Structure 1
Amino acid sequence: MSEFIIEAYRDAAAHTGSRIYPLGRAAKLKSDFARVFSSHLGHLIGGGRFETEGLLVTGPSGTGKTTEIGALIRRFNADNIALPDGSRARFAECVLKGIGTWKDLGKATAHAIGYPVSSKARLTQSEIWDIVVREAKLAGIVGIHFDEAQHIFREKSDADRLAVLDSFKTLMKSHDWPLMLIFSGVPELDGYMKTEPQLYRLLNLIRFSDINIPEDYRTIHEIVGSYALRAGVDVDPDLMTQDFFDRLVAAAASRWGLLIEVTKGAVMVCQDAGTETLIRDNFTDWWVGKTMVSRVATPFTHSDYRTLYRKDDPFMKALDD
């Protein structure tokens, strides 16, 4: 066995890494996606020109947007849905973090659909998007998910933002092959998209909300229990208390994606320790390893954890040591 492999972490990740707890928001995401795609497919069957719709998914960082959308797209691509020309429908994914200009956007999009454009290529904006549409049609790609989409708009002039928005609108209204677009990002993304009304009206809005307590206690209970069960370990009754749930929510900055991340981490610590029961100390140990704070200053141990750990700054203490 390699010195660089910790078997307990490897096995825990293998059992829980791809597991996604079925939160209610996933049902809405799937329903809206299915409705938009079904209409899209109907237009393709009917022939003629049409403009398609898309999704705008927003929520604070760590709410699990990328995970939920990625899982949806993987299931869609695996479904092998037949298109009118006999090809199989697929969705592409493109991360916009670090993308600066419209040309960078065009090249990143082309790369996402499997057609890399040389950095030396001298192409106009129109030519790049023509390539994207042409190659998407040939590959059976019906849509693209643009993740971290707020990054393409930050620190840009109004004119540059409108140029990017116009590019997205062009893809959705293409006469030859309209593309369903999914945009995901932090809440500020909604404000950027609103500045292009013609594009905004084509989007269906989905907001990933924060954890609400006490309403969500039952769901938190089920998440901790399900990940422990998946790993084959028991759950200490102490972890099924309101006090622990409140501390776990504080540790996760009230965000579902982070709560699941913390829970998975604690399960890995438990398995690495070779114990059969998930306990509070496992969460504390994971937190200390993640943040390097003192054990007495974690959300799971500190008496004033609500003040010490705030929603706007995950994993960071509000006060210095």
Structure 2
Amino acid sequence: MVTLNIEHDTNGDNRPDVYDYIENPGDKMLTEMLQELIDNVELCRRGIGSRRRALFLMGGSGTGKSTALLHHFRRMPEFQPRVNEYGETVRPLLSLEAPKPCGTKDFAVAILDAIGVPSKARQTEGELYATVKTQFRERGIIFLHVDEAQHLRRHSSSQAILDVQDRIKTLMQIADWPLHMIFSGVPDLADLLKGGDGQVKNRSLIMRFVPLKLPKDRADIQRVLTDIVEGKCGLMLPEELRTDDFLGRLCWANNGSFGEIVKAVQAACFLAMSKGKDTVDLRAFAFNYSRTSGCLPSDNIYTAARWSEIDPDNSVADLWTPEKKGRK
């Protein structure tokens, strides 16, 4: 079981750090949606809240959704631990990673494990969820974040999905307790929103983290490159890395995934600094890509003439075992 430790960001000397958070293009909308959940908690306590008590955040691997969530959890005070009137520390946010596989009973056990409450194998699913609800109230947990939430989709059958939806719905309807839920995961997570007469979808806010593309997202890719190379690493950025051609290669090599683009720029900077250089160049990106993709030299997206015709997902396709043909 993986749980996340949420604390305020600190940078006491105010110096730029290479691992400082890089603003994601989806941050503005994400902030607005999280604030909507926060505001709705207070409205629910007054009996006038919206029934939309869940946020589904979906995007491909490496798009930066989990990093963005963690950043905002640390930044927004409503998610932070506080001391109540009895001197007890209350942690309003419980953040966990869904195990795999994760049936509805597994989900309840995972929540209790994250809280630190032991469960018994002989407990029924109903008993487990009753304990979960009691623990939420007693511990003051009003936000539940489930990462890798697509694991809740253990089976693709409509009945299996309906079972998960029923459990999610019951958690959003705890008597006299305004629990709000945040689910993050890959696009398969969207299956939990289909069918069931919209019982989960109609109670949710939904946001996509989509891949970046040129020319639409040129400014965001350029910002990441400049911020990391010049601002955080103090290196020089040559003109050849400011061109649309290079930005296109950078985006294409990383499937447009924001988080992977950030990592690629950081890795190129680390390589340059390890060599004692004051400039990051194309060779650093090409070298790192060859090591992480295993591509043939002719298929290196940073150096190939017709790079847009290369599929980075097929970088080792020439080594794949051929499928055996059936006997005739």
| TM-score range relative to shorter protein | 0.7 to 0.9
| Deviation, structure 1 residue 250 | 0.7
Contact 2:143 2:180 in 1 (8 A): yes
Contact 2:241 2:281 in 1 (8 A): yes
State how many pairs are aligned: 300
Question: Could you tell me which residue of structure 2 aligns to residue 123 of structure 1?
Answer: 123
Range with bigger deviation, 141-150 or 241-250 = 141-150
Give the TM-score, by structure 1 length.
Answer: 0.84
Matched residue type, 1:273: K
Instruction: State the alpha-carbon separation in 2 of the partners of residues 199 and 62 from structure 1.
Output: 26
Question: Could you tell me which residue of structure 1 aligns to residue 220 of structure 2?
Answer: 219
Contact 2:164 2:192 in 1 (8 A): no
Instruction: State the alpha-carbon separation in 1 of the partners of residues 277 and 183 from structure 2.
Output: 43
RMSD: 2.7
Question: Could you tell me which residue of structure 1 aligns to residue 289 of structure 2?
Answer: 287
Instruction: State the alpha-carbon separation in 1 of the partners of residues 118 and 182 from structure 2.
Output: 22
Contact 2:294 2:315 in 1 (8 A): no
Instruction: State the alpha-carbon separation in 1 of the partners of residues 289 and 72 from structure 2.
Output: 30
Contact 2:193 2:200 in 1 (8 A): yes
Question: Could you tell me which residue of structure 2 aligns to residue 28 of structure 1?
Answer: 29
| Deviation, structure 1 residue 24 | 3.3
| Deviation, structure 1 residue 305 | 1.9
Runs of 4+ deviating beyond 6 Å: 47-50, 81-87
Q: Paired residue for 2:92, among 85, 90, 93?
A: 90
| Deviation, structure 1 residue 66 | 1.1
Contact 1:52 1:202 in 2 (8 A): yes
Q: 1:186-206 CA deviation, whole Å, 9 max, x = no partner?
A: 223223322231221110111
Contact 1:299 1:305 in 2 (8 A): yes
Question: Could you tell me which residue of structure 2 aligns to residue 171 of structure 1?
Answer: 171
Q: 1:203-229 CA deviation, whole Å, 9 max, x = no partner?
A: 011111221211211221110010112
Distance 1:48 1:64, change over 3 A: closer
Matched residue type, 1:42: L
Give the TM-score, by structure 2 length.
Answer: 0.82
Question: Could you tell me which residue of structure 2 aligns to residue 320 of structure 1?
Answer: 318
Contact 1:233 1:276 in 2 (8 A): yes
| Deviation, structure 1 residue 48 | 9.2
Matched residue type, 1:242: D
1:41-190 mapped onto 2 (5 Å cutoff): 41-44=42-45, 46=46, 51=51, 53-76=53-76, 80=80, 88=90, 90-112=92-114, 114-118=115-119, 120-190=120-190
| Deviation, structure 1 residue 295 | 4.1
Distance 1:254 1:130, change over 3 A: same
Contact 1:287 1:298 in 2 (8 A): yes
Instruction: State the alpha-carbon separation in 1 of the partners of residues 105 and 162 from structure 2.
Output: 14
Question: Could you tell me which residue of structure 1 aligns to residue 311 of structure 2?
Answer: 309
Matched residue type, 2:225: V
Instruction: State the alpha-carbon separation in 1 of the partners of residues 294 and 50 from structure 2.
Output: 55
User: SS at 1:66's partner residue?
Assistant: helix
User: SS at 2:146's partner residue?
Assistant: strand
Matched residue type, 2:152: I
User: SS at 2:95's partner residue?
Assistant: strand
Instruction: State the alpha-carbon separation in 2 of the partners of residues 32 and 259 from structure 1.
Output: 25
Instruction: State the alpha-carbon separation in 1 of the partners of residues 74 and 245 from structure 2.
Output: 37
Instruction: State the alpha-carbon separation in 2 of the partners of residues 141 and 302 from structure 1.
Output: 53
Question: Could you tell me which residue of structure 2 aligns to residue 40 of structure 1?
Answer: 41
Q: 1:63-83 CA deviation, whole Å, 9 max, x = no partner?
A: 111111121222236864869
Matched residue type, 1:243: D
